[in-house]
Amino acid sequence: MKFGIELVPNEPVFKIAAYTKAAEERGFEYVWITDHYNNREVYSTLSVLALATNKIKIGAGVTNPYTRSPVVTASSIASVNEIAGGRAVLGIGPGDKMTFEALGLAGEKPLAAVRETADAVRGLLTGKKVSYDGSAVKLKNAKIDFADPKKTGTDMNIPIYIGAQGPKMLEAAGAIGDGVLINGSHPDDFKTAAVQIQKGAETAGRNIREIDVAAYTCFSIDDDPEKAYAAAKPVAAFIIAGASDVLLERHGVSQEIKEEIAGAILKGDFIGLNTIVTDKMADRFAVAGDFDECLAKVKELEKAGVTQLVAGSPLGPNKEKSIKLIGKMILEF
């Protein structure tokens, strides 16, 4: 099992750099920075992280085909890779539809847009001229000059991970991804996902073992399990409020509860949320608890096919302490 950390750049970049450095020191192999237009810009953040660290792989987790064209994505991640001495990784997903409304974006044909963007970015990272006539991506002799390894000496063979949840996107990830980043925290999510990833991999003549299956979890750890659950519940509530019917059904949450949670969020009633979201419910949408409980849950995820555990928001009531506790867990694997 590999370990990664997801950080949301909604805090000053230098703070994100301090968390990343602490994570690197504790044995995390990956840091993933989310991409939402209302937060700090992802590639500027990654550049600072590249300079602040030596070993940890640094990734956009995840960008999308709509707010940036494939050439901008390729040139941005290649720049980060050069600064980081070859440690960059790239996540591409269909993007957060809720934020697209504010930007006047429709997010059309997400499957084609993600597949073609990943394909075009891979081509551009060779430093050769790329012409592409897809349904979502069109390029004519586009070329990222400095991506040619003969020019800079940096290998731009940057692994591409697909951010996916829906069955078709998971299948696409199996066909084209070096890895897949799945927003999920329960073994059932990964048992279901494995079937789709496998299907996509088989169609493309690949083996699922070639694909790094990353659980992008809602993670909350603390010596005091009650505090860990209390920190996880508001995040789990947001996940439930935005969950598809299929996901709710898989985890036994009714539409009535979903609506009750959405109503409490709308009112800003976070105390109410902590009672509506029971511990049992939190267990379906988060990895929460003290060290032993979280360790046991991570082991269950490994059994369900997860090859990278990405510890995501909130991490716990105290981020620095959580990074140390997860570092202790890394030593157990």
Q: Which residues bind ligand F42 (CB under 6 A)?
A: 34-36, 61-62, 64, 93-96, 109-112, 163-169, 181-183, 216
Q: Where are the beta strands (DSSP E) in the chain?
A: 2-7, 30-33, 57-63, 88-92, 130-133, 138-142, 160-163, 179-183, 212-221, 287-289, 308-315
Q: Nearest-CB residue to ligand F42? A: 166
The answer to whether residues 3 and 217 touch, using CB atoms and an 8 Å cutoff, is no
* Pick 171 or 283: Cβ nearer ligand F42: 171
Quote the crossing angle between the two packed helices 319-332 and 13-25, to the nearest 10°. Answer: 30
Give the rounded distance of the alpha carbon of 144 from its chain centre.
26
Q: How far is the CB of 199 from ligand F42 (least distance, A)?
A: 12
Nearest distance in Å: CB 143, ligand F42: 28
Contact 146, 152 (CB under 8 A): yes
Decide whether 142 or 235 has the Cβ nearer to ligand F42. Answer: 235
For the CB of residue 228, give the shortest distance to ligand F42 in the complex, in Å. 22
Residues 134, 113: contact at Cβ < 8 Å? no
At closest approach, how far in Å is the CB of 13 from ligand F42? 16
Query: Please, which residue, 246 or 296, has the CB nearer to ligand F42?
Result: 246
Token pair, residue 238, equals 């947001």
**What minimum distance in Å lies between the beta carbon of 233 and ligand F42?**
20
CB nearer ligand F42, residue 100 or residue 146: 100
Residue located via tokens 């020019």: 151
Q: Decide whether 181 or 197 has the Cβ nearer to ligand F42.
A: 181
Q: How far is the CB of 37 from ligand F42 (least distance, A)?
A: 9
Token pair for 204: 């493309």
Looking at the Cβ atoms of 242 and 263, the one nearer to ligand F42 is: 242
What backbone phi and psi angles, to 5 degrees, belong to 107?
A: 60, 45
Q: How far apart are CA 287 and CA 83, in angstroms?
A: 34
Closest CA to 250 of 164, 163, 186, 180: 186
